Structure 1
Amino acid sequence: MKKLLGKLLAFILAVIVAVCGFIVLCGINPDVKNGAKAASSGINSIIQEKATLESSQGAQGASGQQTGDNAQDTAGNTQDSAASQVIAELTDAAATVTSFTVSQDQEKEFAQYESEWSSSGIEKDIVDQAEEPLVNQDLYEDSTDETAYYSITDNLSDYSMPTANVIEIETPEQVQSVISDISMGNTAKDMSFAKEYYPYYNMLTDKCKQLYKQIYGNSMEQRDVFLPVVKATPDQWKNALMSVVLDHPELFWLNTAMYTEYDYKGYVVKVQIYFYEDLGNIDEAKAQFDIMTAAILAGTDELKTAYDKEVYVHNLLADKLTYSPNSLDQSAYSAIVGNETVCAGYSKAFQYLMQQLEIPTYLTVGWGGGLASGDMHAWDIIKLGDSYYNVDVTWDDQEPINYNYFNQSDKDFHRHTRMFNSQYLPACAGGKYSKAPKTE
């Protein structure tokens, strides 16, 4: 028995040593790491295929079940304890995500975020035309950068992507219970969004454009629960939501970090979005937001060119704001009404103010910093004349204000990598306005 135990312990130790050695080897040799990633991907594919097969077999075994229409009729007349229990469970699950929390994820690698994205819902020709993004192409120290950015910018990236709380629905009866007494709300079907100012909307397929309008319309009415206006997958739904978030900084009460989707057989049958509780009365917050916006923009009245107005807004935000996480830091409100925010607040405030001045400006999200030490980041793309430029007010907010990340081309935009549907925005290759403004 002792010999057997000794052999077992020796085997476990050997496995541990082998695993540790493999991890070290992955860190040294990218080919090994890539091979491991490919193997993992293959295993996931096998698991997904097996799950699909089992699901198909289960569907065949249940062929005698009622059709969707008959099931709705039956469920509509059924008021038993099981339905009540389902509703209670759904209510409890939704309640767990009603309060806003700042994301605590740190030190994620670029690949972890990149692998989460799906282009489902974006027009195919737009996807096909997208250029392959350069991944952190500028990791070396820049001798012309006198502000030691490479030691500080990795700590100034705190953009939160929308995260879904998924509630799986298993039967038609449960679907009927979940969607009872819920409507589509404001579908905003007659609204239009010009490509010059709302590029993310114009990237979407027709189906996702309908979802986009519905999310926008219900957000404007402060309606937080509704049924999707069209049958859509979770990826399509998320893409529509993200597009609204990226196009509309004025929806500052919309909690962009989370939402809940009720899924049935791969389709979303009900959604819930959330509004920031810390704002208090949203209508009063909107009035205050408008007052502060008007006060800021009043300083541009005597300025003649779009470039001069851009410099004014860039410097005002850099002077006004302090980089500090808080419960509203993913909103433009935190930067326009408040004085503390993170990159999301800087970028959304800059986007909103420039759009109010009728200067096309787009929120851009991706990776900021080093491969392992960076994190999700937000900045802006601005159109001046016929050309586009990158602007990162967050990283320019130093003492004194500098312009290392002001009106840069893509090739000169250090340590920024576009991701998700931001990679489909226009290329930044302008040069006319890339020089730092003269300071007195």
Structure 2
Amino acid sequence: MTAGCSKVEEISDYSEIPEPADSLSVNEPANTDADFDDSCYIYNQLSDKEKEYYDIIRDAALNFEDKAVFPEALDPELLRKLYISVYYQEEELFWLSSMFYRPASESDSLILSYRFTKEESAQLQAEIDAETADIFSSFDENTSDYEKLKCFHDRLVLNCTFSMDTDYANTIYGALCDGYAQCEGYAFAFDYLCRLADIDCFTVSGTNSDGALHAWNVVKLDGMWYNVDCTWDDPILDPVDEDFVRYYYFLAADSDISGVTHFPDNTYYSYPICSSDENYYKREGYYASSADEGVTLLANAAADALKCGSKNAAVRFSDEKAYKDAVTKLFDFGGIKQVIKFANDSSDVKVTDKKYVRYLNDDELIIHITMIYE
């Protein structure tokens, strides 16, 4: 499980950064009505004045201006909120630096800095456009939003490697084109693709269970919100397996991860409740309510994988007893050999029944196997 992410860094005249204020609205409270427009979910929690100032920062960054200038002096903590909002929600501004220059007192301007020049950004954008065009070329009018989301997820997992050591690691360019990114890059890229597909999505910043900074996505599908974490579905394996893809954190409910492995930063915003259990495994038919059903479904998943040229198969269980009983049947009593035999009998391509790799996710009750071709 990979972790670690950058954050918006602050340069300040203070020896200590003060804690966020209890209320940061300008003139009016933020919109907390659950019925507000779900598009631009974070933006729509800002007050009208805050939206105006958000737009000023965004437009200044879009034009590579040295500073954003406001019609009145603003509190430094409000400026921080606005800058963080723009940074995490305007992922297409990949040239905008994570550096926040905090003024010592109220100020009517905010210094902006950039990762790349305007000319460099234009060149990188051309590569991004070519990559996204290639991704979207596989879609037609019958492609569902679910299929698009799965495509975006798989593309990032299979074509990007977790890394903190490049100039592009926190950008959509890093995840889509350079092939190396950390969690911000993965999340920004997934968000970017969703926006191009007119699917409501946004990036969430927070921490993992170890307190390390992390970023992931919340996306709306069929009227329900779900968590997606492409970074954690792309673990660093030893030895490296470039064909490995999993779906532990694809369309996950809050009950699966929130407050367990993922802890969103609620300093400035509230987030939609992700309560649906229509996760990847249910949608694909790999969700079992008993051990015997799980073994059968794993065999089907293995056969389906070989037919598609993959080698990964997984099944999720509805309860811990069914999961543990299936683990025993498969790996203590030899049921895995029958699973692999069924897959081999169903495919022209064969895998060995002498060797395989297993992954057990005790938190989400998932059994995952990676088969090895003969």
- Determine the C-alpha separation between the residues in 1 that align with 2:224 and 2:161: 30
Map of 1:313 onto structure 2 = 152
More relative contact order in 1 or in 2 (CA 8 Å, sep 6+)?
A: 1
Map of 1:162 onto structure 2 = 8
DSSP 3-state at the match of 2:57: helix
- The question of whether the paired residues in 2 share the 8 Å contact of 1:297 and 1:353 is answered with no
Structure number having the greater strand percentage: 2
- Determine the C-alpha separation between the residues in 2 that align with 1:293 and 1:421: 33
Q: How do 1:109-128 residues align onto structure 2 when only pairs under 5 Å count?
A: none
Aligned-residue offset at 1:437 = 5.9
- The question of whether the paired residues in 2 share the 8 Å contact of 1:200 and 1:421 is answered with no
- The question of whether the paired residues in 2 share the 8 Å contact of 1:197 and 1:355 is answered with no
- The question of whether the paired residues in 2 share the 8 Å contact of 1:307 and 1:433 is answered with no
- Determine the C-alpha separation between the residues in 1 that align with 2:170 and 2:138: 25
Map of 1:376 onto structure 2 = 213
**Matched residue count:** 255
Map of 1:339 onto structure 2 = 179
Q: How do 1:13-412 residues align onto structure 2 when only pairs under 5 Å count?
A: 153=1, 156-167=2-13, 195-255=37-97, 257-263=98-104, 266-277=105-116, 281-301=120-140, 304-325=143-164, 326-370=166-210, 374-398=211-235, 399=241, 400-412=244-256
- Determine the C-alpha separation between the residues in 2 that align with 1:418 and 1:344: 14
DSSP 3-state at the match of 2:70: coil
Deviates more, 1:222-231 or 1:245-254: 222-231
Map of 2:262 onto structure 1 = 416
- The question of whether the paired residues in 1 share the 8 Å contact of 2:253 and 2:279 is answered with no
Structure 1 166/237 Cα, relative in aligned 2: closer, same or farther at 3 Å? same
DSSP 3-state at the match of 2:99: strand
Matched, 1:428 2:274: yes
Letter in 2 for 1:268: S
- The question of whether the paired residues in 2 share the 8 Å contact of 1:200 and 1:244 is answered with no
Structure number having the greater helix percentage: 1
Show structure 2 runs of 5+ residues with no match: 15-35, 236-240, 285-303, 306-374
DSSP 3-state at the match of 1:337: helix
- The question of whether the paired residues in 1 share the 8 Å contact of 2:42 and 2:269 is answered with no
Instruction: For residues 279-330 of structure 1, give each alpha carbon's deviation from its aligned partner in whole angstroms, at most 9, with x where no partner exists.
Output: 8622222222222221122223365211111111111110000111122211
DSSP 3-state at the match of 1:230: strand
Letter in 2 for 1:431: D
The alignment's TM-score, normalised by the length of structure 2, stands at 0.63
DSSP 3-state at the match of 2:133: helix
Letter in 2 for 1:390: N
The alignment's TM-score, normalised by the length of structure 1, stands at 0.54
Structure 1 422/208 Cα, relative in aligned 2: closer, same or farther at 3 Å? closer
Aligned-residue offset at 1:239 = 0.7
Structure label with greater radius of gyration: 1
Letter in 1 for 2:215: A
- The question of whether the paired residues in 2 share the 8 Å contact of 1:214 and 1:229 is answered with no
- The question of whether the paired residues in 1 share the 8 Å contact of 2:91 and 2:172 is answered with yes
DSSP 3-state at the match of 1:424: coil
Structure 1 224/337 Cα, relative in aligned 2: closer, same or farther at 3 Å? farther
- Determine the C-alpha separation between the residues in 2 that align with 1:435 and 1:248: 31
Identity among equivalent pairs (%): 25
- Determine the C-alpha separation between the residues in 2 that align with 1:423 and 1:239: 10
Letter in 1 for 2:40: Y
- The question of whether the paired residues in 1 share the 8 Å contact of 2:10 and 2:100 is answered with yes
